[in-house]
Amino acid sequence: MRTPVFTGSCPALVTPFDQNGNINYDAFGRLIDRQIEAGVDAVCVCGTTGESATMSIREHIAAVEYCVKRVDHRVKVIAGAGSNDTSAAVYLSQHAQDSGADALLHVTPYYNKASQTGLIKHYEYIADRVDLPIILYNVPGRTGVSFKAETYQILSQNPKINGVKEASGNFSLLAHTRFLCPDDFYIWSGNDDQVVPMMALGAKGVISVVSNIAPEVMVKMSHLCLENDFEAASRIQIQYMDLIDALFIEVNPIPIKAAMNLLGMEAGPLRLPLCDISPENEKILRASMERMGLLKG
């Protein structure tokens, strides 16, 4: 029987850049340490929030290597390795494995709009060439393609496929997946505003954007769910909805980087085609952070 890569809360780490556009490893290291000190159960490097889509292959590999070394076995490291090119996904996966990562996160191939059969072949091809557990990543709003529950059912038969980060917002898909797939095909929320309802339907935790600035909150919420105290977890989910909404007022990771910079966390600039948050939305974000006590008014 498979065991979940992690249970609880895992930050989808921002990749800090300096003003010259290079990875700011000092700030990155501080971010990793801060998350672990807050009690997170794993960290995810080079995912959507980490701007992996605008990182070179060399940078991607270096960032994963750095994260693994900085974490130093304190928690699990999940390395983003997805691509719309299956061979590139294998290449990134093998390098992550060689770096000492504990698991892989593989987004559905974007732009190509693969069929369900194509998705199955893509993931089986990768699984045949690595030893690490694979977490699928379903985020159709970005990739243009979504898994079907029947596709999860087929992929769940592969022992190397540990489960899925579900960011479709489709609770019917989640319920049908739980019905069709074995109990050891695990699900994690990919949406900070849906942690509690997804965990009520059997998800094992969250891969979180909000954790970059409020790790203790996401740890407590997810752990209360794991303890079946959904009433207390729901109160936290509702309490932080205003902040969560503000952190997604523009496409991720624009607002979370803005929030981190407001807090002096040196997240740095974004890479084009992403650009700075608008002044109007920064005011909304700042006001929400002030209401939640993260910033002084």
Instruction: Return the CA Rg of the chain.
Output: 18
Burial class (CB within 10 angstroms; exposed 0-12, middle 13-18, buried 19+) of 139: buried
Q: Active-site positions?
A: 137, 165
Q: Which residues pair with 45 in a beta bridge?
A: 79
Q: Give, in order, the Cα–Cα distances in Å from 295 to each of 181, 213, 214, 253.
A: 44, 11, 12, 19
Whether the CB-CB separation of 102 and 78 falls below 8 Å is answered with yes
Q: Is the peptide bond before 159 cis (omega within 30 degrees of 0)?
A: no
Whether the CB-CB separation of 203 and 188 falls below 8 Å is answered with yes
DSSP state of 17: B
